[in-house]
Structure 1
Amino acid sequence: MNREDAAPSQKDGNDDAARHLARLLPAPVTEDLSPEQFRRQKEILMNRIDADQATDPRRDSPAAAAPRPARRLLRPALLVPVSALALAGILAGGVALGTGDDHGTAAAASSAPAARGGNGLLHHLSTVALASDAPVVRDDQFVYTRSKVQAADITSGKAVLTPLHEEEVWSAQDPRPLKKLGMSRAEGEDNVINAPLGDDNGTPAGWTRPTYKWLATLSTDPDELLAYLYAHVTKDPDQETDQIVFEQIGSWLGGLMPPKTAAALYQAAAKIPGVKEVPNAKDAIGRSGLGIVREDTRYGDRSEWVFDKDNYSFLGSRDYLTKDTPWGKSGTLLSSSAEIEHGIVDKIGQAPEATRESPRKRQAS
């Protein structure tokens, strides 16, 4: 086969890889749309494409089921857990990935501590969560979260990290369909979080806008909750569904979580194949804690949740490559986060002063 004959097949593979990367990574800023609007509209479009392709009979053929050689980069998981829909579009631009970052090198991945089954820690986290006090959250209030985050951008063809920076998010708790879902603030710039494309009448509380009270409506039976997650996540024939569900649970951790829901999520996560515990993990600002991890061996990337060793509160997360890919070598950091504080406020722009006085006093969820 000559190069001309091989080119279309190679191009199709590259297009497929780019499609997966585009849907899971931050969108570039455009003049017509805010970053949040751009990312959310793109996500809706890709979900519709997935839904259309789900009925394609070729999906059942051996050729369609075979994993593609291209690797995807993870979405910036857990950036601001309960308000994650607001954040992916904020991250634009960045600096070249430096070799001095101890989380972003192949050596870091190869020297990671050996993992063991995560059932023990997850069951303990569940017990701690059940003992937490449930806050009162009114429909007219906002969940506030402040985090340090960074994530990879691959528009240059290589994984390029944004600088570590602080982000604040105010998420409306009104369950009714809303056209303005809250506000995010990063690097001194405020961005309104608007309803995504397709939600012309607003976005109600639910899967794509998980308010505190909506999360409290989820089943607290781990088996029922896990079945619900597997039924509702957006399937991807080129990604392990177990990993998709693991990432979905991770996107809801931290912040303000109903204690019973948090307990059930930990118990459900313990049932996902491949979930393990590591004794040492670090969040975006270097805080060391206990880790719950899962690796997608098909794509060669790994997600970690980090918990405080003393009070078992959620500290943050990180994601990195475990195989060499066109976008980076094994160990390349894809995203990391560190939750600094969270709370309930009465209006956008406010910060929970009581939380700031005791930033380590966080709900263990």
Structure 2
Amino acid sequence: MTPDKDVRADRRTDADARADSDVTEIARLLPAPDRRPLPHALHLHHKEQLMQHIDRDRADGPAQPARPALSARRLLRPAVLVPVTALALAGILTTSIVLSTGDDAPATTTASRDVRPAVALLDQISDAAGRSEELTVRADQFAYTREKDQGADLTSGKAVLEPLKESESWVAQEPGPLRKLGVTKEDGETLPINAQLGDTDGTPEGFGRPTYHWLASLPTDPDKLLDLLYAKTPESDDQERDQAVFERIGGLLGGVTPPRTAAALYRAAAKIPGVTKAPAAHDAIGRHGVGIARDDTTFHTRTEWVFDRQDLTFLGSRSFLVKDTQYGKKGTLMSSRAVLDFAVVDKAGQEPSRARES
């Protein structure tokens, strides 16, 4: 090596040493990283803040050539290009990526997950549902549900909203097929729930009569479950295919459901195109919560699911027009529902021992 090359090498070595020393000093001044797993929604917030800092740095400095998307490993840029606040955010991001994948977590990292707000919320709802109590339900028992609901009568060609009504139902858990599926009680009158139209030999358990045992038999892999839902949902010219599947999932919510099945249903819903977050959602009795929604561009309605802000339990749903149609003006309510209580009981007509505040 020539003397000039030796000098240049020594200069590079000195520069590298100074850079390492600067990074070490900045790291010493920063607070120790929090070792708790970072919630996915908070991770997305910090990531957005970091990228805004980086964009401002690049806008203030000399023009830089275009570069490919950053990988998780490259979020920590050299200290000379990133201010201390952005570097601290990067440290939080790196901690989140490393720690959020535990033994019972998916193999993917936070950085590789879908960043849509609806997906992040459904991930949280799924996790909460999966922690619910697993029940033992016998074939001779009944699934009890108490709810309030109202719907629009369309027979006149216009949406005429019916009064809000409270009802109770007891659905048989026997596999069947059954001619009598249970009983329902409304306005003090108890009536039988008969087999579905066309089921001359009785209705078996399935999408039309989802028993706890049948729900537990569904795939818990979201992709496989979604494939089954699309395969078993009839096609219609009056409704988008994706919307029909979304509403089919909604019809399975709010009752006695195995935790793993409920968790898979929410993760399957997150994969349906057009699903969004609905911040101002509320149910039939006015309980406000966080919401998941989807618009049907064929019928021009929005269907919303509403969840408790604290524990993310399912509260109810509603559907309304998102544009003026022959049935009414934009915002016209088409249906709404509020789940008040559910339980497993031994006999049809039996009130559950526990009750939920309405």
- TM class by shorter chain equals 0.5 to 0.7
Out of 140-149 and 124-133, give the one that drifted further. Answer: 124-133
CA distance in 1, matches of 2:186, 2:238: 33
| Matched residue, 2:226 | 226
**Aligned-partner SS, 2:280:** strand
Pairing of 1:1-365 with structure 2 (within 5 A): 117-354=117-354, 356=355, 358-359=356-357
CA distance in 2, matches of 1:197, 1:252: 20
Q: Per chain length, whose mean CA-contact separation is higher, i.e. which structure has more relative contact order (CA < 8 Å, sep 6+)?
A: 1
CA distance in 1, matches of 2:204, 2:300: 35
How big is the shift at 1:344?
0.6
CA distance in 2, matches of 1:226, 1:313: 22
Q: Deviations over 1:234-262 (max 9, x none)?
A: 11134210000000000001111110000
How big is the shift at 1:198?
2.2
**Aligned-partner SS, 1:204:** coil
Q: Deviations over 1:116-135 (max 9, x none)?
A: 74101101111111111111
Unpaired segments ≥5 residues, structure 2: 1-115
| Matched residue, 2:38 | none
CA distance in 1, matches of 2:248, 2:277: 18
* TM-score relative to the length of structure 2: 0.66
Contact 1:154 1:160 in 2 (8 A): yes
* TM-score relative to the length of structure 1: 0.65
**What's the Cα RMSD here?**
1.2
Paired letter, 1:270: A
Contact 1:178 1:195 in 2 (8 A): yes
**Aligned-partner SS, 1:288:** coil
Q: Deviations over 1:123-167 (max 9, x none)?
A: 111111111111111100000000011001011221111101101
Q: Deviations over 1:285-344 (max 9, x none)?
A: 000100000001232100000000001110000000011111111100000011100101
Contact 2:153 2:162 in 1 (8 A): yes
Paired letter, 1:296: D
CA distance in 2, matches of 1:339, 1:346: 21
CA distance in 1, matches of 2:238, 2:303: 17
Paired letter, 1:159: A
**Aligned-partner SS, 2:247:** helix
Unpaired segments ≥5 residues, structure 1: 1-115, 361-365
In the alignment of these two chains, the number of paired residues is: 243
Paired letter, 1:277: K
How big is the shift at 1:227?
0.5
